[in-house]
Structure 1
Amino acid sequence: MSQIDNLPPLRDVIATHQLSAKKSLGQNFLLDLNLTAKIARQAGKLEEADVLEIGPGPGGLTRGLLSEGARRVLAIEKDERCLPALQQIADAYDGRLQVINADALEFDPLEYLTPPIKIAANLPYNVGTELLVRWLTPKEWPPFWESLTLMFQKEVAERIVAKPGSKAYGRLAILAQWRSDARIVIDLPPQAFTPPPKVSSAVVHLTALPEPRYPADAAVLSRVVAAAFNQRRKMLRASLKGVAPNIEDHLAAAGIKPTDRAEQIGLEEFCALARSVASQN
């Protein structure tokens, strides 16, 4: 493992600061700095962007982002034990790194960031999906971010990019693909991490579209999709009966058979259904 900067190897950093990964925080550390730099490169050109990183831990991806030229990195770290290690990185990179000790689910980073903004993170497993859904469902679109380069459990990554007809296809695929281009860019085995998790991981890159792929009211689409996939084994005329009293009329208007099931329905049809439902309100 060659170095990407003049700071100590990550194994030494972890030993020095006694940073054993905490399961309660969903921590699994990537120690290969060549790999973290490779992940950083998936975020695209960083020289003219601020980067938001969630859960930097000992700073492997942080160093990758900075060494790849990020204009500035704002790292949100909940674990106080990691702060001294991150401060070392901040000192070495001439003020381009700002570290804030906070819970990412309760912290608004926007006052600390200047557009254009990218988000790049080896997300803690226990909050990754919730953060992604928040970033995909802001009140206004386009969002504050240009792109997301995020590591998930491979199962979650496959749900984000899934197509109709697959078991992985569901609400997460609809939310992601309605407003962004999403693709898996790197697969990672458990052995890449310390400690090795029980599952494989993958990095997903999502680029925000200037406007949604098909017109629909976000709240209505979300309600329709949630109801459809909450009972995905049922026919849509049954799973959606609580969405509207005349749901079969709306399904017909959207070109959907009432006997179809949620996993058979594409994004365009779900958006058409959401427009029909919204039109009666």
Structure 2
Amino acid sequence: MTLPSLKDAIRIHGLDAKKSFGQHFLLDPGIVARIAALAGDMTGRHVVEIGPGPGGLTRALLDTKAEAIHAVEIDQRAWPLLDELVAHAAGRLVLTKADATSIDTSGLCPAPRKVVANLPYNVGTPLLVGWLRQAALWERMTLMFQLEVAERICAVPDSSHYGRLGVLAQWCADCTVVMKVPAGAFSPPPKVESAVVDLIPKAEQPSPALFKAMEHVTHLAFGQRRKMLRASLRPIGGEALLEKAGILATRRAETLSIEEFATLARLVCPER
């Protein structure tokens, strides 16, 4: 079967990006090839892709040495186009027709597994937090977000972008912005720039209970980031908790290092 070009496939199926799904299609073959390359050696790996849409990045991933690509797509309008790509891929592309936020994506394939995706803008952050909860199951995550979200993921303390997402991400993985993508590369162009973040999970990962404790601590601390920690952390011990951790009660959330947040999480974790 001869596969039509990406642009022809989109035209044949009358597929256009849908705002309600946070879609912005990435059609530039050079850019999708570079994203696939940024994910590192694919030999023998299973790759999960979320929101393939018309399949531009999917095609680039199929051009690597990956064992198989496991794509998850909620948009029924894209299914016929992707089914054609499945038929062309000779068993190396598996399509799951579902909402990625409602399934365990790690269960789609065996290890070693990676995630490579141009994430829909409206679900990128919750998907990332879900993968961080099970970071030990993933070899690598190479993900595109809005530039502002990418900057939050990689932000350092005492910077304007530093917050809960950056603490959770950098606690579990080494995070690097590896590529910026201009709005004009997408169809339709979003109102903001985008960036690819490479996340490599660390060898040691927190237990589920400790991760939950960190989520709670950072939610309280950054939920009222202008307040001193003695006030924002009052529901979990306030000044007494901070004294145990050796942290001044007058400090604010954005000044704490990730290790200081980890100390607080360990103190409130019920498993300690």
User: Is residue 228 from structure 1 mapped to residue 221 from structure 2 by the alignment?
Assistant: yes
Match of 2:80 among 81, 84, 105: 84
Give the aligned partner of residue 263 of structure 1: 254
* Displacement of 1:159: 0.5
Please, which runs of 5 or more residues in structure 2 have no aligned partner?
none
Alpha carbons 1:135, 1:143 under 8 Å: kept? no
Whichever residue aligns with residue 155 of structure 1, its letter is: E
* 1:72-106 alpha-carbon deviations (Å, 9 max, x no partner): 00101111111222122222221100112111111
Alpha carbons 2:168, 2:214 under 8 Å: kept? no
Percent identity over the alignment?
51
Q: Which has the higher helix share?
A: 2
Name whichever of 122-131 and 109-118 sits farther off: 109-118
TM-score scaled to structure 2, two decimals? 0.94
Matched residues in 2 for 1:136 and 1:13: separation?
35
2:70 is paired with a residue whose SS is: strand
Alpha carbons 2:228, 2:251 under 8 Å: kept? yes
Alpha carbons 1:75, 1:98 under 8 Å: kept? yes
TM-score scaled to structure 1, two decimals? 0.91
Whichever residue aligns with residue 251 of structure 2, its letter is: D
Please, which runs of 5 or more residues in structure 1 have no aligned partner?
1-5
* Displacement of 1:280: 11
Runs of 4+ with deviation above 6 angstroms: none
Matched residues in 1 for 2:231 and 2:99: separation?
40
CA RMSD of aligned residues (A): 2.0
1:274 is paired with a residue whose SS is: helix
Matched residues in 1 for 2:212 and 2:101: separation?
21
* Displacement of 1:254: 2.1
Residues 138-157 of structure 1: pairs in structure 2 closer than 5 A: 138=134, 143-157=136-150
Give the aligned partner of residue 95 of structure 1: 91
* Displacement of 1:256: 1.4
Give the aligned partner of residue 250 of structure 1: 241
Matched residues in 2 for 1:24 and 1:181: separation?
32
Name whichever of 188-197 and 250-259 sits farther off: 250-259
Alpha carbons 2:27, 2:186 under 8 Å: kept? yes
1:178 is paired with a residue whose SS is: helix
Count of residue pairs the alignment pairs up: 270
Whichever residue aligns with residue 252 of structure 1, its letter is: E
Give the aligned partner of residue 185 of structure 2: 192
1:217 is paired with a residue whose SS is: helix
Give the aligned partner of residue 107 of structure 1: 103
Matched residues in 1 for 2:268 and 2:111: separation?
36
Alpha carbons 2:136, 2:205 under 8 Å: kept? no
Give the aligned partner of residue 3 of structure 1: none
Name whichever of 109-118 and 147-156 sits farther off: 109-118
Alpha carbons 1:37, 1:68 under 8 Å: kept? no
User: Is residue 31 from structure 1 mapped to residue 30 from structure 2 by the alignment?
Assistant: no
Alpha carbons 1:217, 1:275 under 8 Å: kept? yes
